[in-house]
């Protein structure tokens, strides 16, 4: 079978990572964790500040939506480009450029005088986050062997979950404290000292590694795939709280031919020995291909679950936003146990079965949670253990997907592989929110079936698809890599 691109070339530039001591690797990992927290918190912290932002600078509803969605959209569209830049010019270099750009755009957010300026700065945040983000997983691939990555990525999963939960809480505390009379602006300006810390630590501790493949750009490939992703994600960017129109679904279908053109484009460039956005031969690796598909499906299920859960608690049971936030904590606790304890321990031993068990547990508990919130009216003492179980299922699956997907990918493709994985997760979450939101908010009607249970059935079905895909994974995921994936 054909080898991926130029994998046969010597990787002299990766020696720096291989020669790192355990202490150096630990410090580098801590640096990457700081960057991940910066990225995740900024996706959620702004939600708390929106009312204050609208009141002070007069941002209308459209601007308010883009202040939230613009970041995620720019982030998703440019992820693949960010991964390729890391492969070409070095993961450490692009990490530092991404962190610097993210910090400067955070400063621009904090200095914005109107809604238009803030939206532009948020788009810049998302774009620079897309340069920074793929380098994190790429550097983990470079520094650690496949089995070592399981525990490291489990740590990232735990901290990522805590960061996502902490974002809105931290935003509320900062605004209430009104530090230096900055009001809502502090939620963006707080990124500056964190960014400086990440820059200094990144310069000192991260290895100078990059792919041995030829460097350069594939602007046409970036354009084709960005256009395809835009058609899928842009119409769904403001899906929360409303059904999705047929036009949105039509645009999503229109992305298929653009994606096909992009695929043909990168295939032709690789065949000609030219620089491409990614090497299609990556998809010949079963663990990568099936892991990526599972990531899309699971992200769709998880995104839909979290959306409907938050709305249903308030609409079906009349809970306050504060109580709704508190009821996310059992789910988050279960997720951390699933990622950091169970998944970390059992993934090296059981391989694909961790994904199968996680998806099955999540499918069952999703139906129990939504049925308990709605028609069955379970008490909170009965519902909380089910939420913990749902979190464990989610943690088992999401904590396993990253290590499994990149387990047999050569280090020369670390940037491209990590960006494709993150893009798959972003895409899946957007589509899941759209489809499940349409089911719950009335876009799809099935006589005799309550919208909440319809949404639960869709999410459970997605989880079972993930289980079916996972069963096709090879038994020896972390063993000897296939010839076409070896470096």
Ranges of each domain in the chain: 13-211, 218-274, 278-487
pLDDT digits (tens, 9 = 90+) for 163-189: 766 666 676 677 777 777 778 888 888
pLDDT digits (tens, 9 = 90+) for 85-139: 888 888 899 999 999 999 999 999 989 888 888 889 988 998 999 899 888 888 8
- Share above pLDDT 70 across residues of the chain, in percent, rounded to a whole number: 82
Q: What is the pLDDT of residue 201?
A: 92
Q: Cα-flanking dihedrals φ and ψ of residue 374, to 5°? A: -100, -100
Closest CA to 16 of 210, 177, 174: 210
The span from the CA of 99 to the CA of 200, in Å, is 10
Is the pLDDT higher at 187 or at 66?
A: 187
Is the pLDDT higher at 353 or at 312?
A: 353
- Joined tokens for residue 200: 């200094």
Domain 13-211, CATH: 1.20.1250.20
- Share above pLDDT 90 across residues of the chain, in percent, rounded to a whole number: 21
The reply to whether 13-211 and 278-487 are identical in fold is yes
pLDDT digits (tens, 9 = 90+) for 379-432: 888 889 999 999 899 888 888 888 888 888 887 777 788 888 888 887 887 778
Please check whether residue 277 is in contact with residue 225, taking contact to mean a CB–CB distance below 8 angstroms: yes
Average pLDDT, the chain: 80
Please check whether residue 24 is in contact with residue 221, taking contact to mean a CB–CB distance below 8 angstroms: no
- DSSP class of residue 236? G
- DSSP H helices, 239-379, are 246-271, 286-317, 321-337, 344-350, 352-373
Please check whether residue 92 is in contact with residue 209, taking contact to mean a CB–CB distance below 8 angstroms: yes
Q: What is the pLDDT of residue 8?
A: 38
- Angle value at C-alpha 392, between 313 and 37, nearest 5 degrees: 85
Class of domain 278-487: mainly alpha
């Amino acid at each position: 079978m054909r080898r991926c691109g130029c994998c046969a070339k010597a990787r002299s530039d990766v020696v720096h990572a291989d020669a790192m001591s355990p202490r150096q690797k630990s410090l580098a990992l801590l640096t990457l964790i700081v960057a991940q927290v910066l990225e995740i918190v900024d996706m959620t912290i702004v939600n708390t500040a929106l009312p204050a932002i609208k009141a002070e600078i007069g941002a209308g509803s459209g601007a308010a939506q883009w202040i939230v969605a613009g970041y995620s959209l720019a982030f998703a569209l440019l992820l693949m480009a960010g991964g390729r830049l890391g492969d070409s010019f070095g993961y450490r270099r692009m990490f530092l450029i991404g962190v610097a750009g993210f910090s400067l755009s955070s400063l621009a957010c904090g200095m914005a005088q109107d809604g238009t300026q803030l939206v532009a700065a948020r788009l810049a945040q998302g774009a620079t986050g897309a340069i920074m983000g793929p380098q994190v997983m790429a550097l983990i691939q470079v520094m650690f062997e496949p089995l070592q990555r399981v525990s490291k990525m489990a740590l990232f999963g735990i901290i990522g979950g805590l960061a996502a939960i902490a974002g809105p809480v931290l935003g509320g505390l900062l605004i209430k404290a009104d530090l230096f009379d900055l009001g809502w602006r502090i939620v963006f300006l707080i990124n500056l000292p964190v960014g400086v810390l990440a820059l200094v630590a990144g310069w000192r501790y991260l290895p100078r590694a990059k792919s041995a493949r030829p460097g350069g750009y594939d602007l046409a490939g970036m354009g084709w795939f960005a256009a395809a992703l835009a058609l899928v994600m842009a119409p769904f960017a403001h899906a929360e709280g409303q059904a999705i129109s047929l036009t949105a679904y039509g645009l999503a279908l229109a992305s298929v031919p653009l994606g096909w053109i992009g695929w043909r484009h990168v295939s032709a460039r690789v065949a000609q020995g030219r620089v491409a956005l990614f090497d299609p031969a990556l998809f010949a690796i079963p663990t990568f291909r099936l892991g990526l598909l599972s990531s899309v499906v699971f992200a769709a299920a998880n995104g839909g679950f979290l959306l409907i859960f938050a709305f249903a608690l308030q609409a079906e049971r009349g809970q306050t936003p504060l109580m709704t936030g508190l009821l996310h904590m059992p789910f988050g606790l279960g997720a951390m146990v699933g990622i950091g304890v169970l998944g970390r321990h059992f993934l090296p031993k059981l391989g694909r079965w961790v994904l199968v068990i996680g998806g099955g547990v999540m499918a069952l508990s999703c139906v129990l949670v939504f049925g308990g919130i709605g028609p069955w009216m379970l008490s909170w003492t009965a519902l909380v253990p089910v939420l913990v179980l749902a979190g464990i299922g989610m943690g088992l699956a999401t904590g396993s997907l990253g290590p499994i997907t990149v387990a047999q990918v050569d280090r020369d493709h670390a940037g491209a592989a990590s960006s494709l994985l993150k893009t798959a997760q972003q895409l899946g979450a957007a589509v899941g929110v759209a489809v499940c939101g349409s089911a719950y908010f009335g876009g799809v009607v099935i006589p005799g079936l309550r919208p909440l249970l319809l949404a639960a059935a869709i999410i459970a079905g997605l989880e079972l698809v993930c289980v079916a895909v996972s069963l096709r994974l090879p038994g020896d995921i972390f063993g000897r890599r296939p010839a076409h994936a070896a470096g």
